[in-house]
């Protein structure tokens, strides 16, 4: 039986739009996936940006108006990667048009926008919506997730989840929209990177009860288009110390780090969880290596605390034709994210790890709001509970 074809339209022909198009080209690498996927349309307000997609043979539509994709009945799913201030309008339009949507974080410029998007989803249940977060789809990350889920760590002591950039380390780098509140939002780097660091914790059920934040605007001005320095009014770095309470009585600190100025890190996602019976750590800086902690009996020495390291292979959420002994990379994690998204859209993901849900995306904004208040009051702030 031939799998049904899903036609994908991309809105935003920049870095991630091109990355998505390339990843989808590798769809045949997936084994027994319930759908076939192809990119058939692309939209960008810059006509020159569309030329790159001429090398994707399945792309038959190029336009500068995303409304053309909304009205095209042949397009099943949209991937929308635009500035944060445009999320609410464009996401809601796609949802009301009945399109499936893989949205970019932060799922709206602020909590109000995110909740409005969520309300549109509830009013239009035929539109399947998830939010993009590809880093947990690395095989090593999945090994960490499975270890945590197994209960092998015992009672949790602490967890640290981070997403670290050095993209703004150059002090002469010109101003861009991610450094301006009007376009990026007051949450700054949390809007830009925070959902990546919160995807796994929220999926594990680790919803922070309260937050104490340290937010930094390290470079308050940057050169404008004419070389004259202009204000950068968003936060570069954020460290959130949160308090997690679980229904079984466990309580532990969850530290969430998001940084655009993290010297030595290009695009590093990592998670570290320690419990009374073990620990686990993974970082994309060493993408094959998974570290596990245990207390073991060493001959001639006795009981010792040991960090052990093993290599992860190529396999992640959905099986592929790639040999299990080979390495996996960023493009592979993009493909796995899309495989999970479209399998879940088809109702066939099962118990495999999935993309960020709209509810989880809205929860990140509640956490950011608490972090912003904590920064002002220099105190611990409770995270708001769902009220809509």
Taking only the tens place, the pLDDT of each residue in 81-134 is 999 999 999 999 999 999 999 999 999 999 999 999 999 999 999 999 999 999
Same domain, 125 and 179: no
Is residue 28 located within the same domain as residue 169?
no
Q: What does the pLDDT look like over 131-141, one tens digit per residue?
A: 999 999 999 99
Q: In this predicted model, what pLDDT tens digit does every residue of 19-41 receive, in sequence order?
A: 999 999 999 999 999 999 999 99
Same domain for 65 and 140?
no
Domain with 373 in it = 136-323+357-381
- What angle (nearest 5°) sits at the alpha carbon of residue 22, between those of residues 18 and 24? 115
Residue 247 included in any domain: yes
Q: Tell me the whole-structure pTM to 2 decimals.
A: 0.95
Residue after which a domain boundary falls, among 70, 96, 131: 131
CA–CA distance, 98 with 96 (Å, rounded to integer): 5
259-285 pLDDT, tens digit per residue, is 999 999 999 999 999 999 999 999 999
Residues 6+ apart with CB under 8 A from 277: 152, 153, 154, 155
Collect all residues with Cβ–Cβ distance below 8 Å to 318 and sequence separation of at least 6.
30, 31, 33, 336, 339, 340, 343, 352
Q: Kindly state whether residues 92 and 201 are assigned to the same domain.
A: no
CB crowding 34-49: b at 16 or more within 10 Å, else e: bbebbbbbbbbeeeeb
Tell me, yes or no, whether 127 and 42 share the same domain: yes
What are the CA-CA distances from residue 152 to residues 111, 226, 255, 276 (Å)?
Answer: 35, 57, 21, 9
Q: Which CATH number goes with the domain that contains 240?
A: 3.30.360.10
> For the chain, how far is it from start to end, CA to CA, in angstroms?
43
Tokens representing 47? 């006509």
Can you give the CATH number for the domain in which 88 is found?
3.40.50.720
CA 22, 28, 34, 40 torsion-angle sign? positive
184-199 pLDDT tens trace? 999 999 999 999 999 9
Residues 168 and 127 in one domain: no
In a domain, 256, yes or no: yes
CB atoms within 10 A of CB 341: 26
Residue at which a domain ends, from 65, 100, 131 = 131
Residue 381's pLDDT is what? 98
| C-beta atoms surrounding 71 within 10 Å | 10
* 190, 271: one domain: yes
Q: Which helix (H) or strand (E) holds 360?
A: helix 358-377
Query: Is 210 within a domain?
Result: yes
Best CA proximity match to 114, nearest among 387, 359, 373: 359
Rounded CA separation 198/194 (Å): 6
Residue 328 covered by a domain: no
Is the residue at 333 inside a domain?
Answer: no
pLDDT attached to residue 304: 87
Q: Let me know if residue 77 belongs to a domain.
A: yes
Place of tokens 């796995």: 336
Boundary residue ending a domain (92, 108, 131): 131
Say if residue 191 is in the same domain as residue 249.
Answer: yes
Under a CB-based contact definition with an 8 Å cutoff, are residues 43 and 68 in contact? yes
Closest CA to 180 of 225, 113, 123, 135: 225
In a domain, 146, yes or no: yes
Determine the Cα–Cα distance for residues 343 and 64; give it in Å rounded to an integer: 30
Q: Is residue 199 part of a domain?
A: yes
Round to whole Å and give the CA distance between 345 and 358.
14
Both 162 and 204 in one domain: the answer is yes
Q: Shortest CA distance to 187 belongs to which of 92, 111, 113, 131?
A: 111
Whether residues 59 and 101 fall in one domain: yes
Q: Could you tell me if 27 and 142 lie in one domain?
A: no
Same domain, yes or no: 150 and 127 = no
Structural domain tally of the chain?
A: 2
């Amino acid at each position: 039986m031939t799998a049904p074809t899903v036609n994908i339209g991309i809105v935003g022909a920049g870095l991630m739009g091109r990355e998505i198009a390339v990843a989808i080209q590798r769809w045949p690498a997936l084994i027994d996936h319930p759908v076939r996927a192809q990119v058939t349309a692309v939209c960008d307000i810059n006509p020159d940006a569309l030329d790159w997609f001429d090398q994707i043979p399945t792309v038959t539509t190029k336009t500068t108006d995303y409304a053309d994709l909304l009205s095209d009945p042949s397009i099943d799913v949209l991937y929308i990667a635009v500035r944060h201030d445009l999320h609410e309008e464009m996401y809601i339009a796609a949802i009301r048009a009945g399109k499936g949507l893989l949205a970019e974080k932060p799922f709206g410029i602020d909590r109000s926008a995110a909740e409005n998007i969520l309300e549109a989803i509830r009013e239009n249940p035929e539109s399947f919506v998830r939010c993009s977060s590809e880093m947990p789809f690395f095989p090593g990350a999945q090994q960490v997730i499975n270890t945590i889920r197994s209960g092998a760590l015992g009672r949790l002591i602490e967890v640290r989840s981070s997403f670290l950039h050095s993209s703004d380390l150059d002090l002469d780098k010109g101003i861009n929209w991610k450094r301006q509140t009007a376009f990026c939002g007051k949450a700054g780097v949390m809007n830009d990177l925070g959902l990546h660091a919160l995807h796994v914790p929220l999926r594990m059920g680790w919803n922070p009860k309260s937050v104490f934040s340290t937010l930094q605007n390290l470079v308050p001005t940057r050169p404008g288009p004419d070389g004259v320095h202009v204000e950068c009014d968003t936060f570069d770095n954020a460290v959130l110390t949160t308090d997690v309470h679980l229904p079984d009585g466990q309580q532990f600190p969850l530290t969430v780090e998001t940084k655009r100025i993290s010297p030595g890190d290009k695009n590093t996602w990592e998670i570290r969880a320690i419990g009374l019976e073990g620990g686990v750590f993974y970082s994309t800086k060493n993408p094959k290596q998974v570290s596990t902690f245990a207390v073991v009996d060493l001959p001639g020495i006795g009981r010792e605390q040991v960090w052990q390291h093993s290599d992860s292979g190529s396999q992640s959420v959905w099986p592929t034709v790639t040999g299990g002994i080979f390495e996996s990379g960023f493009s592979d994690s993009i493909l796995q994210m899309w495989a999970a998204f479209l399998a879940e859209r088809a109702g066939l993901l099962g118990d495999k790890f999935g993309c960020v849900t709209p509810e989880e995306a809205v929860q990140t904004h509640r956490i950011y709001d608490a972090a912003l208040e904590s920064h002002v009051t220099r105190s611990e702030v409770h995270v708001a509970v769902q009220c809509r």
